[in-house]
A and B are shown apart, each in its own frame.
Chain A
C-alpha cells in the first residue's frame, strides 16, 4: 500500500462508513454470514432489551412453582427456587455480552499500546515484553483463571481480569508483528525523512493499518470470552448468585439434572447460539476483509 492511499484512508471518514456497509452486504450474501449476523443481532437485541422482554423479575423466588417444565406462563420452565428461567436467560445474556465487550475493549487498548511499543521500541524492550507475553500465555487459560480466583475470590471483576490478562498477549503479539513489518516500509521511511515525529508516525500511519485486522481478531474472540464467563460461572467461580448468568443457570440445572432436564437445556442453548453466531459472523467478516488471515487458522 502506498503512502497516498494510506493517508487517503485515514482522512476520509464517510468513505469508511460506505466500506462498512459494503462489507456488511458481502457478509449477508453468504448463507453462514447472514445466519451469524442474524443470530448476533438476535442476541444483542434480547440482551439490551432484557428488562423489557423478561416477563418476570429474574430473581423473584416462588418455591411453589419450582422445577416446572416449559409452559405458556414460563416459556423455559422454572428452576429449583421457582425463578423464571426465560427471564434469567435474557438478563444472563446481558451480563455475558457486558463482560466480553468491556474486557475485550480494555485488552485491545492495552495490547495495542504494548504491541506498538514492542514493535517500534528498542530491541531489549521488545524481547522482555515478548517473554512476558509468552509466559502469561503459557498458563492454560482455565488453570490461570482458577489461580486468579483463589486470590481475588469469585466475582465478575475476577472473570474480567482473567480475560484481559490472557487476551493482551494475543493482541500485543499481533500488533507487534504488524508494526515491525510496517516500521521499515518505504512510506514510513519517507515520512521520517520528511521529519515526522514518533507520535505522528504511530498515530497517522501505523495505527490505521493495524486496527482493522485487530478488530477482526477481537470479534472472533467474543465467543471465547463468553465461554470463559459461562464456564467460570458454571464452576461457581464467576458471577455470584443470585445474579443470573448462563453459567449459573447451567450449574443450578446440573444439580437437578435427574429431576428435570429443562434448566440445563435452557441454559446451554443461548451459549451455543451466541458462540455459533459470533463465530459464523467473525469468519465471514475475516473472509471479506482479509483473505490472507484465513490460512493461519
Chain B
C-alpha cells in the first residue's frame, strides 16, 4: 500500500522533471536566439553577451536544465524581462480566475450530468436513456470554443441577457454574472462525459450481489439507488475529473480568449503572441504541475478505494 503510494508519487515527480526538461530544451534548442528576441536585433554585442551570461545561457544545456529545475524547486519561476516583474507574481495573479472558471464549469456539469446519468441507468433503454445518450455524445463532440462563440452570439449579442466580455468591475455579483457564460462553455462537454460515466458505472453496480440482496429484502427502489448504487457509482467520476484537469485547462484557454477574461490561458496566449519566453515557461509549467498533481491524486484515491488497482501494475 505505502509502497504503491511512494512509487506513484515518485513517478509523478519524474514525469514533472522530464516534462520540464523537455520544455526547457525545446525552447532553447530552437533556431533563434532568445537574447536577440528579448533585446531586439539592434542591441550591441556587449549587451547581448551581458544578458546571455545573466540568463545563464553560456552553460551547456544539461547544466542549464539542472539549474533551472533547482530554481523552480525553490519556487522561483524567473523574471519577466519585458515587465520587470517576477513570473510568480504574474502567474499567481491570474491563476485564481482560471480556477474559479474551471470549478464553476465542472460544478454545473456535475449538477446536470450526474442526475442525467442516473436517470439513464434507472430507465435503461427507454426513450429518456436514448435521448440522454445522444445529448451526451453531442455535448462531448462540440468543441468548447464553438460553444463559447455561439453562446456569446445568442445570449450576449442577440438576446443581450448576459455580458460577453471581461470579468466584471470588481464587485462580487458582477463577477458572478460575468462567469455564467464562460462556465457554461467550459462545462457543457463535461455534462456528457459525466452522464455517460455515471450511467455505465451505475449499470455495473446495479448488477452486483449486494444490490440484488437489497432488492430481495424489499427495500424501496429509492433507497437502493441512492444508498447502495449511487454511492459506489459516483467514485469513478472523481478519477475522471482528476484526469480531466488537462482538458479543463485547455478549454479554459479558449473560453478566456473568447470572453476576454483574465486567467492563465489568456496569460499564456498573450505571452505566446509577444514571444515572452519566461512567462510562457512559467505558466505552462504551473499548469503542467497542476495536471500531474491532480492525476496523481486521482490515482491515489482510486487505489485507496479499490485495492485491486494497487496490485495490478
Chain A residues packing against B (C-beta within 8 Å): 32, 131-132, 134-136, 138-144, 146-152, 223, 227, 230-231, 234-237, 250, 253-254, 257-258, 261, 264-265, 268, 271-272, 275-276, 279-280, 283, 295, 297
Complex Cα distance, B145 from A271, in Å, reads: 11
Contact assessment for A131 and B22 in the assembled complex, using a CB-CB cutoff below 8 Å: no
Complex CA gap A129/B150 in Å reads: 41
Other A-B contacts than A254-B152, A257-B152, 17 sampled, CB-CB below 8 A, are A32-B134, A134-B18, A138-B292, A140-B249, A141-B246, A141-B247, A147-B284, A223-B141, A227-B143, A231-B145, A253-B149, A254-B149, A257-B157, A261-B157, A272-B146, A276-B138, A279-B141
| Contact call B269/A235, Cβ cutoff below 8 A | yes
Interface of A is mostly: helix
**A246 nearest in chain B by CB position:** B146
With A141-B246, A276-B138 known as contacts, the answer to whether A134 contacts B143 (CB < 8 A) is: no
> Which residue of chain B has its CB nearest to the CB of A265?
B153
Contact with A along B133-167 (1 / 0, CB 8 A): 01001101111011001101100011000000000
B39 at the interface (CB under 8 A from A): no
Whether A264 contacts B149 by the Cβ 8 Å rule is yes
Q: Is the CB of B254 within 8 A of A142?
A: yes
- Check if B153 sits within 8 Å of A257, measured CB to CB: yes
B171-204 near A? 1/0 per residue, CB < 8 Å = 0000000000000000000000000100010000
Which A-B residue pairs are the 3 nearest by beta carbons?
A142-B250, A135-B18, A140-B246
For A32, what are the chain B residues with a Cβ–Cβ distance below 8 Å? Answer: 134, 137
- Asked whether, in the complex, the Cβ of B22 is within 8 Å of the Cβ of A135, the reply is yes
Contact B150 A143 (CB under 8 A): no
Contact yes or no, A279 B137, CB < 8 A: yes
Chain B nearest CB, measured from A290 CB (Å): 16
Min CB gap A141→B, angstroms: 5
Residue of chain B at shortest CB distance from A234: B145
Q: Is the CB of B280 within 8 A of A271?
A: no
Given the known inter-chain contacts A151-B26, A151-B27, A231-B145, please indicate yes or no for A143 contacting B18, CB distance below 8 A.
no
Q: Does B68 belong to the interface (CB within 8 Å)?
A: no
Closest A residue to B133 using CB positions: A32
Inter-chain CA distance A138–B150, complex, in Å, is 30
The reply to whether A138 and B288 form a contact with Cβ atoms under 8 Å apart is yes
Q: How far is the CB of A194 from chain B (nearest CB, A)?
A: 33
- Residue in B closest to A144 when the chains form the complex, CB atoms: B284
Interface residues of B in 256-276 (CB under 8 A from A): 257-258, 265, 268-269, 271-273, 275
Q: Complex formed: what's the CA distance from A141 to B253 in Å?
A: 11
Task: Tell whether A138 pairs with B268 under 8 Å between CB atoms, given A231-B254, A276-B138, A279-B140.
Answer: no
- B300 at the A/B interface (Cβ < 8 Å)? no
Minimum distance in angstroms from A71 CB to a CB of chain B? 20
Contact B143–A276 (Cβ < 8 Å)? no
* Interchain nearest-CB distance for A189 vs B (Å): 23
The smallest C-beta distance from A65 to any residue of chain B, in angstroms, reads 22
Q: A131-B15, A147-B23, A257-B153 are in contact. Are A275 and B284 (CB under 8 A)?
A: no
A130 smallest CB distance to B (angstroms): 9
Query: Complex formed: what's the CA distance from A133 to B189 in Å?
Result: 26
How many Å lie between the Cα of A32 and that of B275 in the bound state? Answer: 45
Whether, in the assembled complex, B1 has its beta carbon less than 8 Å from a beta carbon of chain A, the answer is no
* CA gap between A140 and B286 in the complex, in Å: 11
Asked whether, in the complex, the Cβ of B137 is within 8 Å of the Cβ of A146, the reply is no
- B156's nearest neighbour on chain A, judged by CB, is A257
For A142, list chain B residues within 8 Å (CB).
Answer: 249-251, 253-254, 265
Question: Of B15, B32, B149, B246, which one neighbours A134 at CB under 8 angstroms?
Answer: B15
Complex alpha-carbon distance, A283 and B11, angstroms: 33
Residues in chain A near residue B196, CB distance under 8 A: 297
Rounded to whole angstroms, the CA-CA distance of A283 and B137 in the bound complex is: 9
Question: Residues of B contacting A147 with CB < 8 Å?
Answer: 23, 26-27, 272, 280, 284
Q: Does any Cβ of A come within 8 Å of B302's Cβ?
A: no
* Nearest neighbor of A271 in chain B, beta-carbon distance: B146
| B295: nearest chain-A partner, CB-CB | A138
B250 touches which of A131, A141, A265, A297 (Cβ 8 Å): A141
Minimal beta-carbon separation of B12 from chain A (angstroms): 9
Chain B, Cβ-Cβ closest to A141: B250
Q: Are A146 and B268 in contact (CB under 8 A)?
A: yes
For B142, the closest partner residue in chain A by CB is A272
Q: When the two chains form their complex, are residues A268 and B149 in contact, meaning their CB atoms are under 8 A apart? A: yes
